[in-house]
Amino acid sequence: MRKVRFYSQVVSLFIKRFAFLIVLGVLLGGVFFLGGEKIFSAFGPLVKVERVGVLGQFTQNNLPLSITSAMSMGLTTLDTESKPQAGIAQNWEVKEEGRVWEFTIKKGLKWQDGSNVKAGDLIYNIPDVAASYPDDNHIIFQLPDPYAPFPVIVSRPIFKRNLLGVGRWEAKDVVGNSGNIRELVLAEISLPAQAGTGREIIYLFYPTENMMLSAFKLGEIDTILDFSDNKKLTGFNQLHVEADNHLDRFVGIFLNTEDTLLNDKSIRQALAYATNKTNLGGPDAPRALSSISPLSWAYNPLVKNYNYDAKHAKDLIKNKKDLSINLATIPSLLSVAEQIAAQWQAVGIKTNVQVASGVPEKFQALLATEIIPPDPDQYNMWHSTQTSSNITNYKNPRIDKLLEDGRRTLKQEERQKIYLDFQRFLVEDSPVIFLYHPVTYTISRK
């Protein structure tokens, strides 16, 4: 009893001595519990900051689409099948069989500085295309020839000036060096109901993956985008790793059709059958069958698949003697090239792997990654007149005609039939061996 009486006296004295502070603490606790967010917002917004690492060197003119599309939009936007939808323009009209395109700007749309979006603000520098602005709500493009994919061209996000766009995120700060951006800070534009809160994303750009990984280790960034090799993460704990399938790219072996050996279609097809494409890009990488994305409205899933068949490959080259090929590639694809070389050698084709920093001026076979344009128009890649961009030197009058018709034809149903045929004939000819769609990884801490 004495102990109980003693402790009660101590508690009583403590309460008497600190009564004011105790009452004040209870009152403040209640206030902050009920309306703390509003109180803190009076001293400034509550900002959640995420630091994101991005691989590559960029200027304001060539930032990744994933970043620019958060800050703004184009006259059009693209849906999941790469079909053009309304963007800054609410609608458009095509005239003169595809030579004239007139876009009507959405009413009430504002730039992030609060000013109204006017047609004259939208400057697209497109070669050989003349733009005119009859009033603040219309922009007219005059093309030299009919061009069905034009609405896709103007889907690129556009800015009034200095990354001032119409999107949910605005550029708060840009830090650069010699034109290249080192750091880009985006702030989310809060809705009225969210006043007092906010988010920021700080993008930090790194020229190499090793530098980006070192920054992640040091805690300089919270997230890594487009990391190519998750094997480098050995030893890390408590990571969240998410695989991203890039169906807008493919890894393939480009074959020089003017080469004295590879101008033979049967040799090109033999190489395709001799290549075991299963897991070549890793267990997460889906097979690529065509130069058009599987997500596209024009994709043809019924092309020849060239599944691995070493016996058929040997049959195609059984009358050929002393076959030898140089396979060039970039450092990041060297291990894949070595696997392919071993497979080709297994069917009797001597293969020498060469590492290059980019696309060699001359090559027999080139293992590389190609970006797939959102529209199925691939005139620049495969038409015989495109000597600088048709790196396989591929020439086929039938393909030329399909590519010409595809960009002139305005009705999507008719264009789809054209590109279904285009893929079927291209894959049959095998100027490129389609391997897989590459996978990268988004890495963050749990």
Query: Residue ranges per domain, the chain?
Result: 78-144, 249-438
Question: What is the separation of C-alpha 135 from the centre of its chain, rounded to a whole number of angstroms?
Answer: 35
Q: Look-up: residue for tokens 């889906």?
A: 286
Read off the pTM. 0.85
> Residue 444: its pLDDT value, please?
93
Q: Looking at residue 22, what is its pLDDT? A: 55
Q: What is the pLDDT of residues 65-87, one digit of tens each?
A: 999 999 999 999 999 999 999 99
How many angstroms separate the CA atoms of 236 and 337, rounded? Answer: 28
Asked: is 78-144 a CATH 3.90.76.10 domain? The reply is yes
Q: Tell whether the torsion through CA atoms of 422, 428, 430 and 432 is positive or negative.
A: positive
The CATH architecture annotation of domain 249-438 reads Roll (3.10)
Contact 259, 364 (CB under 8 A): yes
Which among 171, 253, 274 is positioned nearest to 430, based on CA atoms? 253
86 contacts 106 by C-beta, under 8 angstroms? yes
pLDDT at residue 258 tops 70: yes
Annotate the chain with three-state secondary structure.
Answer: CHHHHHHHHHHHHHHHHCHHHHHHHHHHHHHHHHHHHHHHHHCCCEEEEEEEEEECCCCCCCCCHHHHHHHCCCCEEECCCCCEEECCEEEEEEEHHHCEEEEEECCCCECCCCCECCHHHCCCCCCCCEEEEEECCEEEEECCCCCCCHHHHCCCCCCCCCCCCCCCEEEEEEEEECCEEEEEEEEECCCHHHCCEEEEEEEEEECCHHHHHHHHHCCCCCEEEEECCHHHHCCCCCEEEEEEECCCEEEEEEECCCCCCCCCHHHHHHHHHHCCCCCCCCCCCCECCCCCCCCCCCCCCCCCCCCCCHHHHHHHCCCCCCCEEEEEECHHHHHHHHHHHHHHHHCCCEEEEEECCCCCCCCCEEEEEEECCCCCCCHHHHCCCCCCCCCCCCCCHHHHHHHHHHHHCCCHHHHHHHHHHHHHHHHHHCCEEEEECCEEEEEEEC
Q: Is there a contact between 257 and 263 (Cβ–Cβ < 8 Å)?
A: yes
Question: By the 8 A CB rule, do 355 and 383 touch?
Answer: no
Least confident of 26-30, 141-145, 254-258, 387-391: 26-30
Q: What is the average pLDDT value for the chain, to the nearest integer? A: 90
Report how far residue 139's alpha carbon sits from residue 118's, in angstroms, rounded to the nearest whole number: 9
- When pLDDT is averaged across residues 268-277 and rounded to a whole number, the result is 98
pLDDT at 193 over 50: no
Using DSSP bridges, classify how beta strands 365-371 and 324-329 pair: parallel, antiparallel or unpaired.
Answer: parallel
- Residue 21: its pLDDT value, please? 52
Confidence of residue 269 (pLDDT cuts 50, 70, 90): very high
pLDDT at 140: 98
Query: Region 137-160: what's the mean pLDDT?
Result: 97
Position 240 pLDDT exceeds 50:
yes
